[in-house]
Chains A and B, each alone.
Chain A
Amino acid sequence: MFDFLKGPILGIQTFFLLSGRAVVNIFRSPHYADDIAIQMDIIGVGSLLLILLTGLFTGGVITLQMARALNQYGASGQVGNIVAITLVRELGPVLTALLVAGRNASGIASELGSMKVTEQIDAMRALGTDPVQKLVTPRLLAMSTMLPALTIISDFMGLVGGYLVGSVMLGLTTPTQFWSSAYQALEYRDIAQGLVKPFVFALVIAMVGCHSGMNTSGGTQGVGRATTQAVVVSSVWVIVLTFFISKFFVDF
């Protein structure tokens, strides 16, 4: 009767087993420092330009959209405040995570998926290497350090974008007023929220990408399916989780 639930439940079970093994392996030898560095480069440096541009224009567009509403209430001086809170609490982490999910969850899933269908993962095990230790743990570590770093950069670029549009282009505030209202708007709780979110998103994106890749079957078509699944699932989880994390910070 409930046979249709078997597949999803098995998927959840294998996801958590893989995640558990990947986390435990962080504390076990051997450690593949080279692989971690390579993944940090791919995820961090590789996504940098994308994040810089997205952050800059996101801050700019928030300011542009808020300018008229703030003018109506004579509160245009508060633009820095609004940009800072919106970016640091929500848009910075979420947009960065969605971009990284689109770029790297798909990359991870397709790379590991290709390795799976061409028996490279079996070969790895046959040749004495734990594929979780060699492939999954480095990606998890790299993602959980790089995504928070990228989010901080994105937040800063968003503020720069807000400043350029608000102060330089529209003349809503003076530069000092913009930066001081942005600085004063942020509480420690906002900073904590803005850093907890990317860390959680990083775990989800890395593990969803790795899980989809490691469970690929069905040749090249299967690789395509795994890649799409990784992006869709990780993006949906980012949106769902941001709600619950925000709720947690609002309540406490």
Chain B
Amino acid sequence: MSEANGTDTLLRLDHVTVRFGETVALDRVSLSLRRGETCVIQGSAGSGKTILLKTALGLIVPDEGHVYLFGVDTRTARESELNQLRSRMGILFQEGGLFDSMTIEENVGYPLVNMKSLECPPEEVLERVQQALDFVELGHTLAKVPSELSGGMRRRVGIARAVVTEPALLLYDSPTAGLDPITANTIMVLIAKERDTRGTATALATHRYQDGVLLANYRYNAHTERLEHAGGRDLRTRFVVLGEGRIVFEGTQEELEASEDPYISKFAKPLKDQPLPE
């Protein structure tokens, strides 16, 4: 089992290539995420954002290269070891990934019950589920099933399920896709809230540039319970642009906005005329 360099590095992709038949979904992608960092991954549909996150989670084994999760190489790790590593991270899937035959309580409690490495006593499960649902302001939905909730509420339950284990690393796959602007903003506030209250490392794949800008420029204030402008440059938020499975840009918000490349700049330009929601 190989160890990644640096104890602070929670996730490192080292020249990762993923192929599906003749199609190259990820092409020599290298990326790292340290404790407390935020990585905003952008790219057009089919550019490999979802594959990147699933590979990072160990759900897809790369054809070439290595993925180090908490310093452990996922290519050589057994499924039981991977499960232990996954208990230290959370993911929100693009489609929510909620189990439609289970109640919201069972959905959110699922990782606590099934991830043996968490060693969560059965009597604590309900309390922690309630806390996670209160965090996303859906504490009243315990007995409902996912089909009874709106799309935005399902995403929020997905966030509750991702954070219930108090992970060190959170991956969000297009959390605002297909949502109206107000609901999308609510979701982004929750993501920032989780990041800033617990110092979670965050990887966010998104189509919307404003989602990344919000994470780069705003901080959640636990006292006022609102997002506030951070003021000054934030070097802990990086922007990555994927194109046809390759990283075509990696840098800060300023660098992204300054890019003259027609493909890269189209991910920064839509925001120029749109103010961020307060």
CB B117 to nearest CB in A, in angstroms, measures: 8
Which of B92-100, B130-138, B233-241 lines the interface with chain A?
B92-100
Q: Do the beta carbons of A122 and B114 come within 8 Å of each other?
A: no
A50 at the interface (CB under 8 A from B): no
Chain A 40-71: CB-based contact to B (< 8 A → 1; otherwise 0) = 00000000000000000000000000000000
Chain B 75-91: CB-based contact to A (< 8 A → 1; otherwise 0) = 00001000100110001
Q: Which residue of chain B is the closest to A38 with respect to CB atoms?
A: B101
B57 at the interface (CB under 8 A from A): yes
> Which parts of A172-193 form the interface with B (CB within 8 Å)?
none
Q: Do the beta carbons of B114 and A129 come within 8 Å of each other?
A: yes
Q: Do the beta carbons of B115 and A118 come within 8 Å of each other?
A: no
> Which parts of B94-140 form the interface with A (CB within 8 Å)?
94-100, 110-111, 114-117
Q: Do the beta carbons of A122 and B93 come within 8 Å of each other?
A: yes
Chain A 126-147: CB-based contact to B (< 8 A → 1; otherwise 0) = 1111100000000000000000
Q: Do the beta carbons of B86 and A127 come within 8 Å of each other?
A: yes
Per the bound structure, the CA–CA distance linking A120 and B59 in Å amounts to 13
Q: Do the beta carbons of A123 and B114 come within 8 Å of each other?
A: no
Whether A122 touches B83, Cβ cut-off 8 Å, given contacts A127-B114, A128-B111, A128-B115, is no
Per the bound structure, the CA–CA distance linking A126 and B55 in Å amounts to 11
Q: Do the beta carbons of B115 and A120 come within 8 Å of each other?
A: no
Q: Do the beta carbons of B95 and A127 come within 8 Å of each other?
A: no
Number of residues of chain B lying within 8 A (CB) of chain A: 23
A125 at the interface (CB under 8 A from B): yes
A251 at the interface (CB under 8 A from B): no
Q: Which residues of A contact B208 (CB under 8 A)?
A: none
Q: Do the beta carbons of A122 and B59 come within 8 Å of each other?
A: yes
CB B74 to nearest CB in A, in angstroms, measures: 12
Neighbour of A123 across the interface among B83, B99, B115, B116, CB < 8 A: B99
Q: Do the beta carbons of B116 and A128 come within 8 Å of each other?
A: yes
Chain A 201-214: CB-based contact to B (< 8 A → 1; otherwise 0) = 00000000000000
Per the bound structure, the CA–CA distance linking A122 and B93 in Å amounts to 9
B28 at the interface (CB under 8 A from A): no
Q: Do the beta carbons of A120 and B91 come within 8 Å of each other?
A: no
B54 at the interface (CB under 8 A from A): yes
Q: Which residues of A contact B86 (CB under 8 A)?
A: 126-128
Whether A120 touches B100, Cβ cut-off 8 Å, given contacts A127-B86, A128-B87, is yes
CB B104 to nearest CB in A, in angstroms, measures: 14
Chain B 51-62: CB-based contact to A (< 8 A → 1; otherwise 0) = 000100101000
Q: Do the beta carbons of B87 and A118 come within 8 Å of each other?
A: no
Neighbour of A120 across the interface among B54, B99, B111, CB < 8 A: B99
Q: Do the beta carbons of A127 and B59 come within 8 Å of each other?
A: no
CB A159 to nearest CB in B, in angstroms, measures: 39
Q: Which residues of A contact B57 (CB under 8 A)?
A: 126
Neighbour of B111 across the interface among A114, A115, A127, CB < 8 A: A127
Q: Do the beta carbons of B110 and A126 come within 8 Å of each other?
A: no
Q: Which residues of B contact A115 (CB under 8 A)?
A: 99
Neighbour of B95 across the interface among A119, A125, A129, CB < 8 A: A119
Q: Do the beta carbons of B115 and A122 come within 8 Å of each other?
A: no
Q: Which residues of B contact A126 (CB under 8 A)?
A: 57, 59, 86, 91, 93, 97
CB A42 to nearest CB in B, in angstroms, measures: 12
The interface of chain A, by Cβ under 8 A from chain B, is 114-115, 117-120, 122-130
- Chosen A-B contacts, 24 in total, with CB atoms closer than 8 Å, are A117-B95, A118-B97, A118-B100, A119-B94, A119-B97, A120-B97, A120-B98, A122-B54, A122-B59, A122-B93, A123-B97, A123-B99, A124-B99, A126-B93, A126-B97, A127-B86, A127-B110, A127-B111, A127-B114, A127-B161, A128-B86, A128-B87, A128-B111, A128-B116
